[in-house]
């Protein structure tokens, strides 16, 4: 059975993962309207991935005898200026998510909840990869600068920009 304070923290994380999915979805829609099909598809995929992270938490909580709370998801920002703005926002958001996961990990250690601690290690690894991916993309966008040909190639090739999923 999950202690109440750990359950509360995990339920907050469910909301954060859901909000992350919505943020990526809004970014994907913006990119698609701007003709950045590759970037849009990349971001749609990440929106699905964040939803999967949320569902993984829901199932864990319920399987451990808790009750997952499915929150109302907040409307994310809808308009962006540039791809660099989007990926800077993604990096900042992923750092925020990492901080949240780390706080829960600390709580599980304090509460001697080693099952939840073990479960959360996947999220810790995943967040390292998410931050690395955002930094990698920002580095590429910095190299491109304002070159439209470079942007075209970036958008075409973004589906190949990835890191190995956590645990592989």
Q: What residue segments make up the domains of the chain, in order of their start?
A: 4-68+80-160
Read off the tokens for 42.
């990349």
Which residues are annotated binding-site positions? 17, 50, 53, 94, 127
Owner of token pair 């569902």: 55
Neighbouring CB atoms inside 10 A of 143's CB total 10
**C-alpha span between 153 and 51 (Å, rounded):** 29
Q: What is the pLDDT of residues 9-26, one digit of tens each?
A: 999 999 999 999 999 999
Which residues are annotated binding-site positions for Fe cation? 17, 50, 53, 94, 127
Task: Grade residue 162 by pLDDT with cuts at 50, 70 and 90.
Answer: low
Mean pLDDT over residues 31-40, rounded?
A: 96
Q: What is the pLDDT of residues 45-70, one digit of tens each?
A: 999 999 999 999 999 999 999 999 99
Q: What is the pTM of this model?
A: 0.91
Q: CB under 8 Å to 113, separation ≥6 — which residues?
A: 2, 3, 6, 107
Q: What are the two backbone dihedrals, phi and then psi, of residue 64, each rounded to the nearest 5 degrees? A: -90, 10
Domain 4-68+80-160, CATH number (from 1.10.630.10, 3.40.50.2300, 1.20.1260.10, 3.90.700.10): 1.20.1260.10
Residue 108 in this model has a pLDDT that exceeds 70: yes
Task: Grade residue 160 by pLDDT with cuts at 50, 70 and 90.
Answer: confident
**C-alpha span between 75 and 22 (Å, rounded):** 7
């Amino acid at each position: 059975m999950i202690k109440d304070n750990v359950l509360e923290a995990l339920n907050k994380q469910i909301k954060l993962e859901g909000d992350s999915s919505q943020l990526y979805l809004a970014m994907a829609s913006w990119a698609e309207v701007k003709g950045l099909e590759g970037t849009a598809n990349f971001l749609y995929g990440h929106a699905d991935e964040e939803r999967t992270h949320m569902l993984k938490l829901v199932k864990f909580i319920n399987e451990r005898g808790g009750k997952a709370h499915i929150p109302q998801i907040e409307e994310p920002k809808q308009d962006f200026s540039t791809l660099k703005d989007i990926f800077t926002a993604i990096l900042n958001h992923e750092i925020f998510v990492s901080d949240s996961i780390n706080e829960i990990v600390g709580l599980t250690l304090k509460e001697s909840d080693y099952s939840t601690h073990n479960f959360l290690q996947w999220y810790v690894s995943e967040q390292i990869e998410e931050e690395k991916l955002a930094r990698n993309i920002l580095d590429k966008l910095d190299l491109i600068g304002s070159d439209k040909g470079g942007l075209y190639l970036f958008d075409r090739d973004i589906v190949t920009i990835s890191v190995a999923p956590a645990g592989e």
